[in-house]
Structure 1
C-alpha cells in the first residue's frame, strides 16, 4: 500500500486518472453503441442543457466522462490560479483555467479535458525534470553517512553519525563511509573522494592526512580524530551551497520573470479584444491557451539547475545562477603562482659557495641559523634541508629583523647574517666582490628564488629555493584558451626573472611580477577597465583583495576550507587544475542551452499565434504543441547532465600516473 500511497500523492496520479477518463469517454462514444450515448440525468438536467446549448444531448455519458476528466486535471490548476490571484499575481494557471472553464460553458468538453490533461502532463514532466536535474544534490545527500564507529570508554561503539562529538576517535573500516571531517591519527587506507572533489581515483591516506565526511574507504583501516561533525562537515556545507545555488536566479531568469508579469495580462487583453471584435468565443479561448508562456518560464531555471548540478557532481561549486552566467563571459583569467601553477611545496635546490674557505655545508648552516626565527614560507625548505644534513640550528633563534621586499637580518652567535637580495646588501653596506648578484640572476632565470647569504661584511654564497610546476599547468592554460578565454595572466609577488621562467614553461600570456596584494587588486581592476570579465584564482589570503575585485573569485582545493566553500564564487573542491577550464566550458554550455530554450519557447508561441489566426490550430492542438515545446526545452536542458567527454578525458589524463611521472621543471615558490 505504501507504493500506492506514494503514487497517489505523486505528480502522475492526476494526469493518469484524467487520461483514463478521456479514454473511457472515447470508448463510450465510439465503441459502446447508441445506448451509451444517450442523455443521462434527471429532467431538470436535460432542460438546463437545452437552455444553454440548444440540445440536451450535451449531457451524454461520453461528455460527462470528458467533463470529469477536465475536473480531475483542472482542479489543481484552478486552485493554483486562485492562490496566485490572492497574492496579486496573474499566473499561467489562470490562462489555462479561464480557457478550460470557458470551453466547458460553451459545451466543448473535449477541448476542456484536452487542455487541462496536457497541462497536467506538462506540470508532471517539469516536476520530474527538476527532480532529475537536482540529482547531483540527491546524490550528495545519499552519501551522507548514517552511522559511525567511535571509541568510547575503551570500546568500539556504533552511534548515529550526527552524535559523534568533536575530538572523538572514529574508526573507518574497509567499505565504510567516513562519518566526520577529521585527521588521521593512525593507520593507512585509500579513500574514494568523488563525492567531495569529483575525482574517481582513490586517494591514499596515512597519519596527519585530512579526511572528509561522505568519502568511502576502499582499503585499509583508519583511526580519525573528529574535527568537524554534523552540519560542520565539508559535505554538509557543500549540500547547503548547492541548495542555495540551484535556487538562486540568474539575471536572464529575473528578466524572464519580469517579462512574464507583463506578458500574461497582455495575453488576456489580446484574447478579450479578439473575442469582442470577432464575436468568436472559441477563438478567444484558444488564444489564452496558445499564449501560455510555460516553456519560456521553465527554460531558464531547468538549465541553471542542470548546469549547477552537473558542476557539483564534478567537484565544482558555483555560487548561483548569476555567477554561472557571469562565468560564461570570462575573457581573462588571473592566476596566483604559488599553489596554482606550482605545487606549493618549495624545496632547496641549489647552494652556490662563493667563499673558497667555506664548504657547501657551512653556507647552509649559516643560512638555516639566520632563518630559524623567520616566519617566511621560504624558511621552511632551508631549515628542513639543514636538519637532513645535520647542520640544523639548535636552541633559541637569535633576533630576526625582516626587511620588506629585500630579506632578513639575523643575529647568530654574535654575528650579523644577511640573507636576501642585492638591495639588502647595499642597504647594509656589504660589497659584492664575488659575483653574488650574477649568480642570483642565473638561478632566477631558471625559475628559482635565489637568496644571497652574507656573514658580517662578506658574501659567502647564494642559495636557491624552488617549487615544481604542476604537470597539468600548461594544459590548463591551453584548455582555457580553447574555452574562449582571451588571455591568462600571472599575478605574483616573486621576481620578474622567476615569473618569466614559469610563464614561458606554462604558456602564460601576460606576467605581472613583484606585486604586493594591493598591486594584484590594481592589475585585476585594470583588466576590467579594458573590458574584460575577469576570474581570479588564488588562495584567499594574500589574494583576498584581488579575489573580491574580480568578477568571479575562484578558490582551488577548497574541500579543506570552510571559508572558501562559503565565500568563493566558484570553489574547485579538488586540487585538479583542469577543473578550472571545465567550469568555464560548462558555464558557456549552460548559457547556450538557456538561449536555445528561450528561442524555442518564443518561436513556438509565435508560430501558434499565426496558426490560430490563419485557421487550423484548435485549442487542444495548440496545447499539445505548447506542451511539446515544454518537453523539448526540458530535454535540451537535460543534455547538460551528460558527461563532457573531452573534459572527462582531460581530467583523467591530468591524474594518470604517466602524466604525473613526466619530467617537471624546478621553479620558485
Structure 2
C-alpha cells in the first residue's frame, strides 16, 4: 500500500494517508481489524473519506510502516464495524451536525444579505409553527404551542433576531435529542450482541459439534437449549420450546414453538430444546428490528425525564399568563414579548435528557451497558440490593474440590460422565466440572447420552445406556426425582460437604456420587458491599440455591446478615416482591438462568459479565467487566446524574427569573432577553453533556485483582 506520513510524534502515534480510493468504508473496518492483530499495534482508527490510518503502537515504528507497505489490495476485506467504531462514528456525525448548525447560524448573520436571512429564519420557523397549530387544534397548552407563539409574535413584530435565536436553539435541541436516542440504541445493540461466541450444530452424521459463531452459515442445523440465545433466523426442524421474543415483539411472556415454526436471532429459549435450520445470518436485520421496537417504546426515558417534560409543559400556561398580565398592566408589546421569549420549559426539556444520556455515555465508557435512563434513576435511589451467590458474589470460575463416588462408578468415571452431560450448558458450575475432567484427561470420544433436558435451577436429566440419569441439586435429585439415599451415604456426604456446594449424580434412581464445588467469594466483594452501604444502600441480601453450610460460610466471610439458602427461582422472585411490598426500592444482581425471574421482578436489575443469555436479556444494566467494583461506579454515576439535574433546575429558575425581571422592568430589550435566555439554555445543555460532571476518584473504587 502506498501512503504518506502526515503525523509522527516519534513516540507511539503515527497517522498516514493512503488517498480517497485506497479502501471503502467496509474495507476500512476490515483493515482496522487486520492491523489490530499485528504485533506492537495497540489501536487503529481509519477513515475511508481520505484513506487516513491513525495508529497507536509500542516498540519499533518501522515495523508498523513495514506492515503498511506490505499491504496489498487483495489483503483487504469487508467487515462490520466494532461497537467502538460505531460509537466514534455516531459522536463524529453529531458533532459535525452541531458545528454545521452553529457555523450556519453565524455565517448567515455575517454574510447573508438581510432579506435572504429573514427568508431563511421564516422558512426554518414554519415546522415549529405547524406543531404549535396542531397543539392549538387539539387544545394542548404545551411547549410546542409556546415555541410557536414566541416565533409567530416575534416574526409579526419584525423582531427577526430573537426569532432566529429561538429557531437556532430549537434546532440544536433536536440534534441533541437525536444524539441521545442514537447513543441509547448503540448501548442496547451492544448488550444484545454480547458473548455470542460459539454455537452447537448437528452434523450430517447427527453428531453435536461446537463451532465459532463466525463459522455459522445458512442451512446449518443449530442446537439451542434452555437459557441460550438463538444465534440466527431460521426454522425449527426438531424439538419444541418456550421462546422469549421480547427483543422482536416487546412481549415478555414466552411463546411456545415447535417443528415448522420460524424463530429469530436474538430471542431466547426459556425452556426446552430445539434444532434450527439457519435461513439467514444477518445481524443488521435483527438490530433494525430491535431499533424499531425501542423507537416505538418509552424505555429510554427516565422517570425524572418524563417528570421534567410534564413540568415544562405545566409551566407554559404561566408563561402565557405573565405575558398577558404584563401587556394589560404596561400596555407595552415590547415588554410582553420580553416575558414571552423567556420561558423555563425550554431549558428544562433540553438539559434533563442531555444529563441522562451523558451519564449513560459515561457508564458505557466504563464498560457498563445501561438500557435506559429510568434504570439509572432507579439505581441511584434504591435502598436495598439483593445478590445471587454463585458467580455473582463468588468468583465466576468455581472449581471442583473433590468427587465422591457412592456407587459402582469410580470417582474418575463419575466425573467423566458428569462432564459429558454438563458441557452443553453455559453455567459456571458446569464449566468447573468440564474443566476438571479436561485437567485430569477424562475425555469422551462421543456422546454417552441421549437428548439432554435442562430443568431451570434444578439440574439436568438425560438417558445413559437406557437408564435415566440426573445431575443437580439435592432438592432435584433426592426429592423431585425420588432417588433413594441410605443412612450410610448420608453420613459420607455429611463428612464431605463442609463449606462446599454439592452436585448430586444419580442413575436409575440410585445415587452414584456427589461433586463438591468450591466457590470462594470474589476478592473485591467485601469492600464493594461496605462501599455500597456508605452510598446509601441500607440492606444487603444474599439468595442462593446452595446448602445452608455453603450459604452461611459465604455470608460470614462477606459480613452479610440477611441471606436465604436452598432458594428456588420462583422463590427468588417472590422474595424480591416481598421486599418491594415493604416500600423498599430493590436492585437485583445475578448471572444465571435461575436468576431471571428475580431480575424481572426488581425495580432495576444488573447482569454480570459472564451471565447467561437469558439473564442479560432480562437485566436492565449489564457489566462488561468481571468485577463487582462497577456496582459502585453505577451508584456514583447515577447519583451524580440526579445531582446535576437538580442543580440545573435551580440554575434555570434563577437565570430565567432574572432575565424576565430585567425584561419586564425595561432594563434590557426583548432581543437581549431572548439572546440571554437562549444562550444560557445552550450553555446549561452543553455543560450537562461534559464528562467533568461525572468525575470519580479512584480512591472511591478499590479494585482488587
Q: By the TM > 0.5 criterion, same fold?
A: yes
Note the 1:267-666 alignment, pairs <5 A.
267-291=319-343, 293-350=345-402, 428=484, 430-432=486-488, 436=492, 439-440=495-496, 443-445=497-499, 447-449=500-502, 464-539=516-591, 541-557=593-609, 561=613, 563-564=614-615, 566-640=617-691, 644-646=695-697, 650=701, 653=703, 659=705
| Contact 1:166–1:229 under 8 Å retained in 2 | yes
CA contact (8 A) 2:662 2:668 kept: yes
Q: CA deviation at 1:468?
A: 4.3
Q: Secondary structure at the match of 2:628?
A: coil
* C-alpha deviation, 1:570, in angstroms: 1.8
Distance apart, 1:494 and its partner CA = 0.5
Q: Is the 8 A contact 1:555 1:564 kept in 2?
A: yes
1:501 to partner: Cα distance: 1.7
Q: Contact 1:283/1:612 (CA < 8 Å) preserved in 2?
A: yes
C-alpha distance 453-14 of structure 1, shift in aligned 2 (>3 A): closer
- Taking structure 1 as reference, are residues 365 and 380 closer, same or farther at Cα in structure 2, changes over 3 Å only? farther
Q: How far, CA to CA, are the matches of 1:340 and 1:530 in structure 2?
A: 25
Any idea what SS the aligned residue of 1:348 has? strand
CA contact under 8 A between 1:348 and 1:382: conserved in structure 2? yes
* 1:306-364 alpha-carbon deviations (Å, 9 max, x no partner): 22233334433322232232222122121212221234444331368999xx9xx9556
Structure-2 separation of matches of 1:475 and 1:237: 41
Kept in 2, the 8 Å contact 1:536–1:553? The answer is yes
Query: Which residues of 2 match residues 7-22 of structure 1 at below 5 A?
Result: 10-12=100-102, 15-20=105-110
- Partner Cα separation in structure 2 for residue 452 and residue 85 of structure 1: 72
Residues 114 and 330 (structure 1 numbering): CA distance in 2 closer, same or farther, change over 3 Å? same
Q: 1:69 to 1:99 in 2, by over 3 A?
A: farther
Residue 555 of structure 1, CA deviation:
2.3
Q: 2:380 & 2:675 partners in 1: Cα distance?
A: 34
Shift of 1:131: 6.4
Q: Equivalent residue for 1:154?
A: none
Partner of 2:128: 80
Q: Could you tell me how far 1:103 is from its partner in structure 2?
A: 5.8
Q: Is the 8 A contact 1:96 1:288 kept in 2?
A: no
- How far apart, in 1, do the equivalents of 2:666 and 2:293 lie? 50
CA separation in 1, counterparts of 2:459 and 2:471? 10
SS in 2 for 1:489: strand
Is the deviation greater in 246-255 or in 429-438?
A: 429-438
Q: Which moved more, 1:97-106 or 1:568-577?
A: 97-106
Relative contact order, higher structure (CA 8 A, sep 6+):
1
Equivalent pair of 1:140/1:239 in contact (CA under 8 Å)? no
- Mark the CA change 1:542 to 1:413 in structure 2 (over 3 Å): closer, same or farther: closer
State the alpha-carbon separation in 2 of the partners of residues 232 and 364 from structure 1.
47
SS in 2 for 1:616: coil
Kept in 2: contact 1:95–1:289 (CA 8 A) = no
Residue by residue, what CA displacement relative to the aligned partner does 1:92-123 show, whole Å, maximum 9, x if unpaired?
Answer: 576566556656766xx6xx243124324434
Number of equivalences: 523
Gaps of 5+ in 2: 1-48, 50-95, 194-213, 221-230, 233-264, 267-277
Secondary structure in structure 2 of the residue aligned to 1:12: helix
1:118 paired to 2:165: yes
Structure 2 vs 1, CA of residues 452 and 421 (structure 1 numbering), >3 Å: closer, same or farther?
Answer: farther
1:105 and 1:15 mapped to 2: Cα distance?
21
Q: Which of structures 1 and 2 has the bigger CA Rg? A: 1
TM-score (norm 1): 0.62
How do 1:123-162 and structure 2 match up within 5 A?
A: 123=170, 125-127=172-174, 129-130=176-177, 136=183
**Which 5+ residue runs of structure 1 have no aligned equivalent?**
25-64, 145-161, 169-180, 183-211, 214-225, 660-669
8 Å contact kept, 2:592–2:611: no
CA 1:463–1:396: 2 relative to 1, 3 Å? closer
Change (3 A) 1:92 1:14: farther
Cα deviation code 1:485-508 (max 9, x no counterpart): 223321101012211222233344
User: Aligned to 1:252, which of 304, 308, 311?
Assistant: 304
Q: Indicate the RMSD between aligned Cα atoms, in angstroms.
A: 5.6
How far off its partner does 1:392 sit? 8.6
8 Å CA contact 1:490–1:510 kept in 2: the answer is: yes
1:297 shift after superposition: 1.8
Describe the shift of the 1:411–1:95 C-alpha distance in structure 2 as closer, same or farther (beyond 3 A): closer
Q: Tell me how far 1:434 sits from its aligned partner.
A: 10
Say whether the 8 Å CA contact 1:14–1:72 is kept in structure 2: no
Deviates more, 1:620-629 or 1:603-612: 603-612
